[in-house]
Amino acid sequence: MERAPVTAATGALGPVVAKLGALLGREYKLRRPTRKDVKFIKSKLKSVHSILWAIWDKEILDSESKVLKKEALDVADDVHDAIDDFILTMEPSRRNKHLMVQSKIEASCPFQDLKKRVDDVSGRCRSKWKWEKNKSVEPFSSLFSRRNSKSSPPSKPLPPRAPFVHKDAAELVGMDIWRDELITFLVGGGGGGEEEEEEEEETTTVPPQLKMASIVGMAGMGKTTLAHLVYEDEEIKSKFQSRAFVSVTPNPNMKEVLTSILQQVGAEPLAGTQARTQEDLIHTISNFLENKRYLVIIDDIWHREEWDIIRRSFPQNNLGSRIVITTRIASLPGDDFDNSKLYIEMNPIWSSLKKRWLYGFYRKDVTTQMKPDMVGQGFDGDHPIVRMCGGVPSALLCMFSAMAMVREQQEQLGVHVKACNVQDMIEKQVKRNGFQNTQGFEPLVESLQLGYADLPHHMLKTCLLYCSVYPENYPFHMNDLVMRWVAEGFTYKEDIAKGYLEELCNRGLMLRLEGLSDMPDYQMNPMMRNFLRWKSREDNFITCSSGIRLAYACRVHRLCIDDYQVDDGEVQVVDTLLELDWSQIRSLVVFEGAERCVPFEKLERVRVLDLQYHHH
């Protein structure tokens, strides 16, 4: 049997279509009406599967489309159960022990009711699709508002993204060492004019090479701001004859990127630049910079193939020129300028001693240094909302922005509130609505969404979403996560699962913990975890007990019980769990102490059961 993966995009549709195909194979002998129904259901679900696979995560679904998707995934689960139940009723053939025969006592059309549901869902999906195609030139124009897509780039190139730079450089505490290190790297090596040549007369025996600096780190760490601060430094301005700072989108128009470089380095305006080919632009930039000491900063580069195009425009002129790139992808710089490059990694580090994420070259808690005016008014530096920001500068600054908005709203009502009380309000909003729907966190959410949407295929997105089951700041081993992914059916090979984890780490979406063990622990930054938990909740992919509210209407397929306690403060969570339809749960993760509230006898359809008895 073909082993199709389970995904957050299509649920169990892939495995169900594969199972239906196997049911039509040589191992099973079905009655003619049953065989006809199975073929019909398989055809309809295969069509729905293709639609969901093509559009998920590149689009934003309207309310009607969300209902259609939910019904499609629910009916797929019901078909999955019906297939298993049907196979259990089959009997081995008397003539061929390898052949299973439909039982005589089984109803002649066991899939009749499901056939009607599948036909209904499939028909409404097709009708909606056709309506949208007739309404607009581009399919799914309002059903699915198109986002960036590697497989389907937008017909009109996206404009270059404006870099997110903190207005007040003083807010970026902890960056001084990195800034000084980068400036020293950029101005060193000669090639800066007659005065510099005299000062460096003793070191001119070696030609000043073209060198490259890479600033690498997860979203929100201040990579762009660090690069921009250095770019605007007066000493830097005086050392280079030509400079350019270009920010790149996840799916850039390379002609626009190259044109921006050409214009910024000071080349003569070219008539019909937009009509030039990519190769013309590369050669023009290279020829112009051939005899100049230049500094070019390429901000937020996403893909190696795009970087390979851009770097061809930079000549190796041995005049002390410098290239700086910022990226979230640790492997992207590769071996470029291997013997003459600087590598700055900007990721928060988990302190097991302080039980919190630390930031900056000195790995300190810099939260209270960012906004002294606000911090001095009863601010709690150890508050859960601060910890939720995970030592990420942009998350902390967004938190302060959200606090300022709440405080202003309260003051308009004539109410004066302490900073710690405002923090309580923000925490409640984030827990209830996620960063995605909390005012003030928009820049952070946009940055996180860009990284999530750029994942190259659905399986990486699915595996990353699943990692949100872990409690906040919970360390886990590679083997633990790999076994979970395989058990869930996201992949069926451990080596592929390990490759997925490595790629997520490479993109800064998962972080390795520093330690002495040969088997490293991994951890998800709480900022990313909150973002993913809300996405999982929106897609009904994983339901966590800490996020359940009363009157939870969705059918729960994957349940994680992560915060059960027997005190009065958790009564609402317990009551809500007891009201769930446990018979529909396919996957259950239970953390230590929570097993007491699980009615195991009601788990009729559970396929994955994970009891976590010990925290690391």
Higher pLDDT, 204 or 481: 481
Q: What is the mean pLDDT of residues 166-188?
A: 74
- What is the pLDDT, as a whole number, of residue 15? 94
Does 437 reside within a domain?
Answer: yes
Does residue 295 have a pLDDT over 90?
Answer: yes
At 191, the pLDDT band (50, 70, 90 cuts) reads: very low
Distance separating alpha carbons of residues 66 and 306, to the nearest angstrom? 35
Q: Is the pLDDT of residue 497 over 80?
A: yes
pLDDT in tens, 455-480: 988 889 999 999 999 888 888 899 99
Mean of pLDDT over the chain: 81
Provide the pLDDT for residue 546: 78
Calculate mean pLDDT across residues 308-333.
Answer: 92
Predicted pLDDT at 212:
93
Domain boundary, last residue among 379, 413, 444:
444
pLDDT digits (tens, 9 = 90+) for 205-249: 445 788 999 999 999 888 999 999 999 999 999 999 999 999 998
Sort strands 356-358 and 349-351 into parallel, antiparallel or unpaired.
Answer: antiparallel
Per the structure, the count of domains in the chain is 4
48 and 114 share a domain? Answer: yes
- Asked whether residue 221 falls in the same domain as residue 333, the answer is yes
Residue 511 lies in a domain: no
Domain's final residue, options 310, 345, 380: 345
Q: 323, 428, 450: which is closest to 384 by C-alpha? A: 428
Q: Map tokens 């902390």 to a residue.
A: 396
Tell whether the torsion through CA atoms of 65, 70, 73 and 74 is positive or negative. negative
Does residue 407 register a pLDDT over 50? yes
- What range defines the domain where residue 602 resides? 542-616
With a pLDDT cut of 70, the percent of the chain lying above it is 78
More confident residue, 204 or 528: 528
pLDDT (0 to 100) of residue 154: 35
Residue with more model confidence, 100 or 370 = 100
User: Which pLDDT does position 613 carry in this prediction?
Assistant: 60
Distance CA 281, CA 313 (A): 8
**pTM of structure:** 0.84
Residue 514 lies in a domain: no
* Same domain (yes/no): 340, 366: no
Higher local confidence (pLDDT), 167 or 43: 43
Residue 281: per-residue pLDDT: 92
Same structural domain, 245 and 335: yes
Q: What's the mean pLDDT in 404-429?
A: 91
Looking at the fold, whether 298 and 401 belong to one and the same domain comes out as: no
Q: What is the pLDDT of residue 611?
A: 86
Q: Is the pLDDT of residue 298 over 90?
A: yes
pLDDT at residue 186, as a whole number: 92
Name, in order, each residue with C-beta under 8 angstroms of 293's C-beta and a sequence gap of 6 or more.
191, 192, 239, 240, 241, 242, 319, 320, 321
Q: Which residues contact 489 (CB under 8 A, 6 or more apart)?
A: 3, 5, 6, 12, 15
Query: Which band of pLDDT confidence, cut at 50, 70 and 90, is reported for residue 13?
Result: very high
Q: Residue 518 pLDDT > 70, yes or no?
A: no
In a domain, 556, yes or no: yes
Task: Indicate whether 305 and 203 sit together in one domain.
Answer: yes
Amino acid at 255: K
**Shared-domain flag, residues 332 and 356:** no
Residue 614, pLDDT above cutoff 60: no
Statement to judge: residues 338 and 359 lie in one domain = no
* CATH number, domain with residue 341: 3.40.50.300
Within a domain: 72: yes
More reliable by pLDDT, 130 or 98: 98
Q: 353 and 339 in one domain?
A: no
Burial class (CB in 10 A: 0-12, 13-18, 19+), 279: exposed
Range of 27-31, 50-54, 298-302 with top mean pLDDT = 298-302
**Same structural domain for residues 214 and 362?**
no
d(CA 211, CA 504): 28
DSSP 84-122: HHHHHH-EE-SS-TT-EE--TTS-S-TTHHHHHHHHHHH
Say whether pLDDT at 595 is over 80.
no
Q: Which residues contact 405 (CB under 8 A, 6 or more apart)?
A: 439, 440
Instruction: Tell me whether residue 503 is in a domain.
Output: no
615 in Cβ contact with 592 (< 8 Å):
yes
Per the domain annotation, does 329 fall within a domain? yes
The verdict on 309 and 182 lying in the same domain is yes
Range in 19-28, 173-182, 531-540 with the lowest mean pLDDT:
173-182
Locate 267 and state its tokens. 């080349």
| Mean pLDDT score, 497-502 | 95
- From 92, 120, 135, the end of a domain falls on 135
pLDDT digits (tens, 9 = 90+) for 347-387: 888 877 777 787 755 555 667 667 666 666 788 888 999 98
60, part of any domain = yes
Distance CA 509, CA 524 (A): 7
Same domain, 294 and 372: no
The pLDDT score that the predictor gives to residue 335 is 74
Q: Could you read off the pLDDT of 525-572 as tens digits, one per residue?
A: 899 999 999 888 888 899 888 777 655 667 888 999 876 554 544 444
